[in-house]
Structure 1
Amino acid sequence: MFVMMKFLNLNSTKICSKNSFVSRTKNLLIQNFAYTIFIFFFCGLISISAQNQPLKTYNKNDGLPSLHIKDGVQDRTGYLWLASDKGLIQYNGNSFITYTTQNGLISNNINVVKANNNTLFIGTDKGLSIKNHNGFNNFEGNNVNCVLTINNHTFLGTDKGIVRVREDYLSPLRTNFQIDLNKVNDIKFDGKFYWIATNKSLWRLDKLINPEVLDRIDVNNYTSILIDSKTIVATTYNNGLKFITNDEIETQTITSQNIKGINKINNQFWIISEDEGIEVLDANFNFERTINKYNTLTTNKISTAFQDSDKNTWIGTQDKGIYFIKSDRPTQKKPTISFENIEVVFKSIDSININGYEKTLQLPADKNHISFYYKTVDIGNSNNLEYRYTLNNQASPWSKKSSIDLAYLSPGNYTFTAQSKIGELESDPIEFNFFIDTPIYQKKWFIWSVIGLASLLLGSIIWLYVRRIQAKNKAKVAKLQLENHLLSLEQKALQLQMNPHFIFNVLNGIKALGNSGKSVELNTTISRFATLLRGVLHNSRQEEICLAEEITTLKNYIELEQQMNPKPFEYSIITNLTLDPEEILIPPMLIQPFVENSIKHGISSVENGKVDIHFSVKNDFLHCEIVDNGIGFHQSKKIKTTSTHQSVALKVTQERIESLSKKSTFHIDEIIENKQVKGTKVAFKIPLKTDF
């Protein structure tokens, strides 16, 4: 301004040199004109400053996760939702909450967000996300630039034409190839026609699906559409505004370039430029002022501008976050409250729209725990909100709490209402009706059923008593049969404790030694045989003997077999015990049949035969193993031809072991190395029993 005044004064000096009187007059007029301009300019700055105050900036220091805010909207509850390059941002007046792909969004790069009641339509670079109280439902597709919801149908303007949102997919619409193949920046409906702004043209259609009227109004790069009464206002990127009234198009040039959109705020038209701030026109589309970094803001890179329900203005930028301009004429209005969620036994109701459910929710008797979550969002009065609820005319006091858990409710009909208030202004109550069924045990048909069942049960008890007596008699018979079977097994075990053929061979051997005059060997053999017979006869009268006695009997038996066997063999008895063998009790003659089988049928056909016997204690069980290096169990069974004594003895002994341990612990396995049989291993375990 001072440069302008200096320029005017310089010109007036030159004029004075020609004509003093004329120059003085002109100089005076010019100075008065300059002062007038200065006064108007100064007053304009004061006016702009006053209109934009108070101004607040929200950025990362305030918890805003992104400085690039592309779009914004307010839902029915009052939450502010912002589209950014780092996700969907919710603002409740106190804090920001961000939803990203980790929460279910299809993409973090969001272009546009629109609210229909409390359902959000979120257009991203990868398609559409729809958010309700249950979460996100995603639809993959092209970059979404705008969203239009009308008559329960949702349409999207994308980089590749118009898309209709179906139940579970996006369906491209076929209108005109110049629309279908181009970028659709905006779609509006004026009640009769659909207006479509593309990067090439402006179109008018009577229907989006199978249109009959399809007019191209103008060719240009159109960025947005505003319907103002009967006038269609469309913005172009660099060619001003277009007004369409009664099929006539009129162009108005504006100073701003790179126009992104237009919104009507406070009966003014705000034209948003990507890099020149905001140009404000009055109700007659005359220039009024600019809002940019030279007078109000700190940036010219504007993305969006919109108003909330309290007439506060929000300006989203590309690099400085979002600006908040509080309304200079705040309205006193009742707050609005809505249900955010209703849970039955901690599970959200997902089959109904909880804020539009007019029927009575039917609940079974066991679903008598219900939780209500309700909310009022008032950006300017978030700290002054109070709530109360009423259950069947029983009202709670006002408090800050916006939820309630109702547990162990009795059967019957219930009406739940909730209200909020700011100061003395109370919201209209919201209502939800539900019914809890009577427990089955309190219903008449159940009571009569119980009586009938009790009568039947009484008769059954008498019948069962008779059956029980019969069962006891059968059990006694079965017990006697079992005892008889055990006695039979014991008798068989006593009868099969020593192979008569073995005794015959020993006696023949003694006879041969006597005839040959080998008195020393004769005496040794007779002594061992006598010790073995004494041990067998003594043990046969005992139910249990100590392990040391069993080992002694085995040694005597094996050493006699070594003397009688035509082929020499070796044996070993190894004990790995935590107790003394004298303290461990086992049934008599439990090992001898397996050792006899190894000697007679296992190693009888091999040179350098060997039998190893192992005893060990593990986990309260006595483990026994008999290992030989003979021809193998299966091969020995094939060559048995004369005697059935050994097979019967093995079967009886196996039954004794299984009756002792009550478990499947008996195993006979062949030892195989390099696909060749190298012997047989008999293993079993019995419960560890001691004499103390």
Structure 2
Amino acid sequence: MVHFNSSEVKSRLFTEKNIEQILQDSEGKIWVALNQGGLLCFPTGDVSSSNRIEYLGNTSVTSLFEDSQHNLWICTNGDGIYSYNLNTNITYQQPEISEGLDTSDVRVKKAIRLEQDPNLLTLERVFWDTVAPGIFISSIEINNKDTALEKSYMLEAYQNFLRIGYVGSLPGNPGVFQYRYRLNGVDKDWVYSSMNSVSYTMLPPGEYKFEVGAMSKEGIWSKEPASATFIIQPYYYQTTWFMAMTVGLAVVIITMILLIYTRNIRKKEAEKAKISKRIADLELMALRAQMNPHFMFNTLSSIQHFVSSNNTEEALRYLSKFAKLMRVVLDNSKRKEISINDEIKAIELYLDLEKLRFKGKFDYSIEVGEGIDPSYDEIPSMLIQPYLENSILHGINNKLDTGFIKVKIDLVDDHIVVCIEDDGVGRKKAAKMQERRSKEHKSQGMNITRDRLSIINRVNQSNLNVEVEDIGTGENTGTRVKIYVPFKNY
């Protein structure tokens, strides 16, 4: 806002808000309507920062009007219309700015002198219009603490609150100055203000240069701005060396995690391969146990006996069963799990051939419960035969009379339960008789199957288990074996 007449610029003022309207009322007061800045009043008609009254806060004043009754009407954006009676008797007094011995008498003498010598007025006015005001920084506060004035400051990271004071000066013209300032790195352009101080808070680490200039009421700016440099050092965790060390440490940690993870993966793969090899070995051993040389030799001897006794039909029937059993065992050994129907076919062939070997020493039965679908439900291959072999060799074979083996497959809760019962001599008596015949064949099928179940549980995280118990009391107690296989209801 510039106040001038035909011969001079009387004053300049930065309002810092957009001016909507300027009105001079009948009393000579100047009113300024501001957008989001309220209403300014200059009672004496002199436009300066020290001679103003502010009304209506940050209200947006859009227009002003004085009626014939000397009422001032003030229109706002969104806050209605205000009226102000200008006839109120108000006394305004503007403070005089003087320096040294420039008293009222001296100013009166100067005024008389200027009136008597117009050329002197012209010379002084030219001097004021052409001389640029000086500017200097008057105070610097860092974190609300005053500090000595210097050209440059090296500050810690936490010293990031600055308050800078500045003052303009012009010999012979003690008027109020307008200012412009900027802090390179924060302010993109000059900031204009009538205030003689500025604050900056929460400055990030970096290098800043503060510059400030003053303007006289004639509109002349300082030739050189006053300046000060501030270097705010970063926190230790913002420094290059710390970030490089952090990145390096992160790389080392990630590398170690990857190495440990890779090592664990390789370890698990090696363990898995080892287990797979062990399973393959056990399955091969189970296959060999099912087709052990004694069983094969005795079966073939029995067939040979039928041939030599001209019982060709019986020999061909059992030879056919033996061939079928060999094929079934070989086929089942290639699969980890088989249907219950396939397992029943295999054990029927096996039990028929064992009956041939032992000349009708035992009989058997196989039952399947209602909860089982033998064509669909599956169990691990080659699982039941070793326990049947154990019942025949150690239970039934040691009896004086014929025996009986009962196989029942049923669904109990969430398990398929395979129950094998025999009416043999029992485990204790069989163990004693085995000690006396240590040179004879020792069945390894049960031990192999036990190891198989243990490894299958580890690999599949399942809970296959086997229970063995004696049946009844007396000389022929018999044995019951229960195999629990988790039921898979797909």
Common fold: TM-score over 0.5: no
Between Structure 1 and Structure 2, the one with more helix by share is 2
Flag the structure with larger Rg.
2
Higher normalized contact order (CA 8 Å, seq sep 6+, divided by chain length):
2
Which band: TM-score by shorter chain?
0.3 to 0.5
The TM-score with structure 2 as length reference comes to 0.44
Between Structure 1 and Structure 2, the one with more strand by share is 1
